[in-house]
Amino acid sequence: MLMNKFPKDFVWGTATSSYQIEGASDLDGKGPSIWDAFCSIPGKINNNETGDIACDHYHKFKEDIQLMKEMGVKAYRFSIAWSRIMPTGKGAVNEKGIQFYSELIDELLKADIVPWVTLYHWDLPLALQMENDGWLNKDITDYFKEYADICFDRFGDRVKNWITLNEPWVVSILGYGQGVFAPGRVSNSEPYLAGHHLILSHAKAVKLYREKYTHQKGEIGISNNCDWREPLTDSKEDKDAAERALEFFIAWFADPIYKGDYPKVMKERLKERLPSFSKEEKELITGTSDFFGLNHYTTMFAANSDGIKKEVAVNGNGGISEDQDVDLSVDKDWKVTLMDWAVVPWGCKKLLKWIDKRYNKPNIYITENGCAYPDKLIDGKIDDQERLDFYQGYLIACQEAIQDGVNLKGYFAWSFMDNFEWALGYEQRFGLHYVDFKTLERIPKKSAHWFKKAIKNDSAEVSL
């Protein structure tokens, strides 16, 4: 049994998002979100399921926090539903929504669990989409700033860890490019405009926090998602393709924050489809993250697209496919999850080192990492050995990255419990706790018991 050591101040946590677990979609003054609307369209969601009830966390949050405490979790990353705070996304504040999150935060602190709050995890107030074209309208940057101001003001006395946006790539590409996520638009130009406004929204919220709420002594950042791209061959063409794929994926959003502008390859290839930042906007954006939030799940091979498929190419490019000239594939011998995502721990290590080098050794938090498997309840227990193997492999990769000098400061497992997995509905089970969606009972999985040992009482040793 190998004993890998993590720093004693390493942050161990689990993560969720509002629409995926809360339910109470129209209770106590909450306004509708784009996901409430999207789920009502027949055929958009697996089995036409919705997040109307989800895990009913809105009513069961005290029970859920007790489960986290029993697991020994030291940090909990959750998101606030914008439309629960501001039903139309602007103007009036819903005090019952404020009360819910305030009580949730207080309950976490009582359990000695540090709250990490994400302001936006994809559930845009529907009114902003209907009346203002959502993320396509630059006015949203000010609406988001106003919303952030309310959250900082009401919760910042207790919340010291903020994440502005979760996976703006998903919002842009899946929501405005491929149309498979809310708001369901299909375009080869709108994703870049939406992404542009997401970056500016993030920057305005951070500027506000640093200027108006410096007395709260917190940290604020953004969480971007990225999968590793390994060159299919040692050729220069495939190495360039792998780098290009990473730039279209994570550098799209990270470069403006850490370097002041979009990657050169994106500007060259997209031309007028990629909006430009003014000099003042570049100054506003640069340096607006106290840490590098990373959501990471899988790895793929990347090859230069020359009209000949080197392997069976699959979907998943980090941008509009035709803009990159990259073919993606996987090794047929790699194990895959229920999502058909390859389990490749060494890809996680390589991505961490790539981020470390490109962005000059930032503090990194893995704000999501996990896997979906078809968990089955047998005699009241879940023996999810595949998930346990996944976590062991990826945590070894994380520890090796730390040994190589990467400033990895924390790890949040996705997710705390099985939940509504967006367009895939409830069949994709990522949680450390099994949820019976008929009774809404929560049952610890084998991996939850292992996690408890791994993160017990600030121990520096994790049995892997």
Q: Which residue numbers are catalytic?
A: 167, 368
Q: Which residues contact 438 (CB under 8 A, 6 or more apart)?
A: none
Task: Give the CA radius of gyration of the chain.
Answer: 21
Beta carbons of 420 and 430 less than 8 angstroms apart: no
Of 16, 356, 319, residue with least CA distance to 170: 319
The 3-class SS string of the chain reads CCEEECCCCCEEEEECCHHHHCCCCCCCCCCCEHHHHHHCCCCCCHHHCCCCCCCCHHHHHHHHHHHHHHHCCCEEEEECCHHHHCCCCCCCCCHHHHHHHHHHHHHHHHCCCEEEEEEECCCCEHHHHHHHCHHHCCCHHHHHHHHHHHHHHHHCCCCCEEEEEECHHHHHHHHHCECCCCCCCECCCHHHHHHHHHHHHHHHHHHHHHHHCHHHCCEEEEEEECCEEEECCCCHHHHHHHHHHHHHHHHHHHHHHHHCCCCHHHHHHHHHHCCCCCHHHHHHHCCCCCCEEEECCCEEEEEECCCCCCCCCCCCCCCCHHHCCEEEECCCCCCECCCCCECCHHHHHHHHHHHHHHCCCCCEEEEEECCCCCCCCECCEECCHHHHHHHHHHHHHHHHHHHCCCCEEEEEEECCECCCCHHHCCCCCCCCEEEECCCCEEEEEHHHHHHHHHCHHHCCEEEC
Torsions phi, psi of 116, nearest 5?
-115, 115
